[in-house]
Amino acid sequence: RMFPPYKVKATGLDKRAKYILLMDIVAADDCRYKFHNSRWMIAGKADPEMPKRMYIHPDSPATGEQWMSKIVSFHKLKLTNNISDKHGFTILNSMHKYQPRFHIARTDSIV
- The model carries a pTM of 0.81
For residues 78-93, give the mean pLDDT. 89
Dihedral over alpha carbons 102, 108, 110, 111 (to 10 degrees):
-170
Q: Give the pLDDT score at 46.
A: 95
Q: Give the pLDDT score at 110.
A: 55
**11-36, pLDDT tens digit by residue?**
999 999 999 999 999 999 999 999 99
Return mean pLDDT, the chain: 92
Q: What domains appear along the chain, each with residue ranges and CATH number?
A: 7-109 (2.60.40.820)
| Inter-CA distances, 100 with 14, 15, 16, 38, Å | 24, 26, 27, 25
